[in-house]
A = this chain, B = another copy of it.
């Protein structure tokens, strides 16, 4: 089978938000597969803040996207042709592929959607994918939460934050979220059951006091997805022996210059806090357990999950940049 398709590739490393000068589209032709390869027709791309990190060449937990290579991304799609023994045409699969209409894969890190799947397909990039499992293992394991603890969640209306906050509520914690609009804050409280929410935009410059006002007993766990000013304000409100789950730093991903760490770094010592760099990949042996647990919580109505789906391959890059201006809510996906 021969296919022609469109693909986003990294032309140059971005300084600041990725533009269409940095990330370009080109036509690709695939004419036949080698032994061990399969061809996937992608149906959804995952649009994740982490992808912006992979466009940079700062040392990180996986190699940067190489110049001229496809933009790396989780996708879910259908196998249209296979010369791989473990996959057949018609299988629905998800894994790390790229922003492209079709992907040629060698099967590594590719997982089949169960034949008896009863969930929307894109859940395999959200609730059951990296973000769902990040929230699940971050909250139920790394954070060492116990009932009655106060959890402060940044980017609380985002994919990880909205799920993580609900998981902590289901564990009997007090949960306070930070989000970028009053409407999102209302959704956290009314829609997801958060105890309080702070609009970090209107409270900018006085976040320390805003957090203190709604966390009168201090913060036992701060789950950080953003870094920057919010991290600094959170550090002034942590209790002794607090845990800080360092899951992301979205406020700094688009920075063109090196960004300093938290100014209130000293508080980590002063409160004998623990900062844990969190990578969901460390939980790989427990992924199936996690996905089943998240599915059961969804089935029981204990958590809800919101995906924001953008339509159309041509909107991938502009959609991706919504992650960084605070305008998206829940897990962001691109539907082809």
Residues of A within 8 A of B (CB): 58-61, 227, 236, 241, 246-249, 252, 258-279, 282
Contact = CB atoms under 8 A, between A and B. Distances in A.
A261 B246 CA distance: 14
Contact of A270 (B60, B264, B276, B282): B60
B236 A59 contact: yes
16 contacts: A61-B271, A61-B272, A246-B268, A248-B269, A249-B266, A249-B269, A259-B263, A260-B260, A260-B263, A261-B263, A268-B277, A269-B278, A272-B277, A272-B282, A274-B275, A275-B275
B265 A261 contact: yes
Contact of A269 (B61, B264, B266, B268): B61
Contacts of A266: 58, 60, 249, 252
Nearest to A262: B261
A44 to B, nearest CB: 26
Contacts of A247: 269
A61 B239 CA distance: 11
Residue among A59, A247, A249, A278 with max Cβ neighbours from chain B (10 Å): A59
B277 A273 contact: yes
A2 to B, nearest CB: 40
A219 to B, nearest CB: 14
Nearest to A261: B261
Contact of A59 (B60, B241, B270, B273): B270
A125 to B, nearest CB: 21
Nearest to A242: B277
The secondary-structure label for the interface of chain A is loop
Contacts of A282: 241, 272
Contacts of A262: 260-261, 265
B277 A227 contact: no
A260 B265 CA distance: 8
Contacts of A241: 282
Contacts of A276: 272, 274-275
Given A261-B261, A268-B275, 6 more contacts: A58-B266, A59-B267, A60-B266, A246-B268, A268-B277, A270-B277
A108 to B, nearest CB: 20
B277 A269 contact: yes
Contact of A277 (B259, B261, B274): B274
A263 B246 CA distance: 15
Contacts of A273: 277
Contact of A261 (B236, B260, B274, B279): B260
Nearest to A236: B59
A268 B278 CA distance: 9
Residue among A248, A267, A272 with max Cβ neighbours from chain B (10 Å): A272
B60 A265 contact: no
Contact of A246 (B236, B269, B278): B269
Nearest to A247: B269
A212 to B, nearest CB: 12
Contact of A274 (B59, B61, B227, B274): B274
A105 B60 CA distance: 53
A223 to B, nearest CB: 13
Contacts of A274: 274-277
